[in-house]
Structure 1
């Protein structure tokens, strides 16, 4: 889609996409919550290595290694945590050593990377072999590796599947739905935005021949490809939807979500998500007042009254993000993430999937049951869109 006079003035770059400014802004990285990064903000970068760092180098607090365009960056924080950040300061990987202030990292020639604190090795990443390691690299898809020539000695499979509003995707950056690298979205250095599945291009913006271009996930909800000079050469036309995020999904779709966390554009049609059991009977609805003695008082999901042992199926193609046994409230339960929607099925008698597993429609997640705080055999279903509870029957369709 090319710009025309009525739309050319609408797309606006979220900010100037220059790798040099990104590198210079390392010192201003925000503290990322969630426990794996720690409480200390990254120290001011004293040395920034671009693309790779030679074996034999010692990284001191504040030193960093970035991908060639600066969008992915590994920084040794002052608290001792070694953290890889992606676009929008998303945390892709961390060493979990935030209690080791002043630690250093040695990129060894002996096929190892060591994190050292007070003269003692705290963590080592290594692989035995005869060929000496030569460099450590941070690539444009978020992966990192210790190399011996061109051979990867040790690999770190960090990846980024989502870009939130107000951020850009620079040329040479690849987003991935998961660690496998099977489903990707690449902003090529020639200006083309390309989606691939198993290496085959399945969608593209057709904006090649414009080196130096970038893609912007704008605050107004538009996804725009700009070429140098801030000229829009392609956009989704969703500037009235408000900013959300762009997500590369495990179902093979790339979806743009608006401010209401609903789909406003995608590279292929969306077929919808299915109810987890082969039944249309409902015994308890979302929002039902269950009385003052219940916590929470108002029902957070919808209940399907089925016999113990009834198959519980995946609603579509997604990733298992939780598979928990013997929870006091939910009993045995599974949570699957489908793009921007999560579906929880609880009170199961049996769980048949594992956390991190990619599943597709028709796969059995488990069997229904009567575990946890349950008053009878049923499956409790909860759905969240963008982290917010919503009525499952507004999201899931009966099979």
Structure 2
């Protein structure tokens, strides 16, 4: 087992807890996918569950995609949302024209729409939630695709990492985009759409470390092997400027690992630990 660094880091957790909303109880299924069919609705408090992900129509009016530790159980990290909080009673409707719409309470007119996927013109299309927490709006067979996706998913490393470890490792060959995460047996390291990088404990969805960058523009997490740049940093999607980084500089052969002991660690190829979140033993 890799050696942990013996120094501890102070975690900036404010804001992380706010985004880790627990999904209300609803109809759950342990199957590998879930569908919101054409003409179907999600009312406040209802949810679709596909193995370890859940799409919830929250009471506050926000349509939210969560990661879940267990099929049908409590859910934690939010990896996508419609941004429609503050409208209690709002509901989601998979319209027969192919558009997924969040309407304000009691509304059904275009002026009542709070958010939409803008996929009208695809009659019979439906929302498909995969077990890997990716959402698509699928058009009927034989018709043009809608092109809409939640752009979420687990960020597996490339072929340079052993197959069984790819979901927990970040290398310089692949970044961690907003709405994507690393997955150990006990934690998720999530690059949230709100600009915050958060390490969550699976058993209760609690945030145990964060970069403290909530409320900033969407950013991509990347690992650098250059000594001129920080080893790990968040960079804005729109202009590339850095919003957070480690004090550790890059070097050849480093990689980051989300460990089952609750710690995220940057290692050299020979297994020397260089930096960590200080969260070992917090699972």
Q: Quick check: 1:133–1:153 contact (8 Å CA) kept in 2?
A: no
Aligned mate of 1:334, from 214, 221, 242: 242
Aligned mate of 1:121, from 92, 96, 113: 113
Distance 1:322 1:153 in 2: 21
Aligned mate of 1:320, from 216, 227, 235: 235
Aligned mate of 2:42, from 38, 55, 59: 59
Matches within 5 A, 1:201-212: 203-205=162-164
Q: Quick check: 1:335–1:343 contact (8 Å CA) kept in 2?
A: no
| Corresponding residue of 1:142 | 133
CA gap of 1:77–1:384, structure 2 versus 1, over 3 A, is farther
Q: Quick check: 1:66–1:74 contact (8 Å CA) kept in 2?
A: yes
Q: 1:59-101 CA distances to partner (integer Å, 9 max, x unpaired)? A: 111211122x2x0111111111111111442111112222111
| Corresponding residue of 1:281 | none
Q: Which has the higher strand share?
A: 1
Q: Quick check: 1:321–1:336 contact (8 Å CA) kept in 2?
A: no
State the 1:128 CA deviation.
4.4
Q: Per chain length, whose mean CA-contact separation is higher, i.e. which structure has more relative contact order (CA < 8 Å, sep 6+)?
A: 2
Equivalent residues, number: 184
| Corresponding residue of 2:277 | 386
| Ranges in structure 2 where 5+ consecutive residues have no aligned partner | 1-14, 70-75, 175-181, 188-222, 253-273
Distance 2:237 2:168 in 1: 20
Largest Rg, 1 or 2: 1
Q: Quick check: 2:138–2:146 contact (8 Å CA) kept in 1?
A: yes
Q: Quick check: 2:224–2:251 contact (8 Å CA) kept in 1?
A: no
Q: Quick check: 2:90–2:104 contact (8 Å CA) kept in 1?
A: yes
Q: Quick check: 1:334–1:344 contact (8 Å CA) kept in 2?
A: no
CA gap of 1:201–1:33, structure 2 versus 1, over 3 A, is closer
If the length of structure 2 is used for normalisation, what is the TM-score?
0.51
The yes-or-no answer on 1:78 pairing with 2:64 is: no
| Ranges in structure 1 where 5+ consecutive residues have no aligned partner | 1-31, 160-174, 177-183, 185-195, 206-222, 224-245, 260-270, 277-313, 326-332, 346-358, 362-382, 389-399
Matches within 5 A, 1:212-361: 247-252=168-173, 274-276=226-228, 314-315=229-230, 319-320=234-235, 334-335=242-243, 342-343=246-247
Distance 1:255 1:115 in 2: 30
Distance 2:115 2:125 in 1: 20
Q: Quick check: 2:19–2:77 contact (8 Å CA) kept in 1?
A: no
CA gap of 1:203–1:116, structure 2 versus 1, over 3 A, is same
Q: Quick check: 1:136–1:146 contact (8 Å CA) kept in 2?
A: yes
State the 1:272 CA deviation.
8.7
CA gap of 1:323–1:76, structure 2 versus 1, over 3 A, is closer
Q: Quick check: 2:67–2:133 contact (8 Å CA) kept in 1?
A: yes
CA RMSD in angstroms, aligned pairs only: 4.4
Matches within 5 A, 1:33-182: 33=16, 35=18, 42-45=23-26, 47-48=27-28, 50-67=33-50, 69=51, 71-88=52-69, 89-118=76-105, 119=107, 120-129=112-121, 131-150=122-141, 151-159=145-153, 175-176=154-155
Distance 1:255 1:74 in 2: 19
Distance 1:334 1:123 in 2: 30
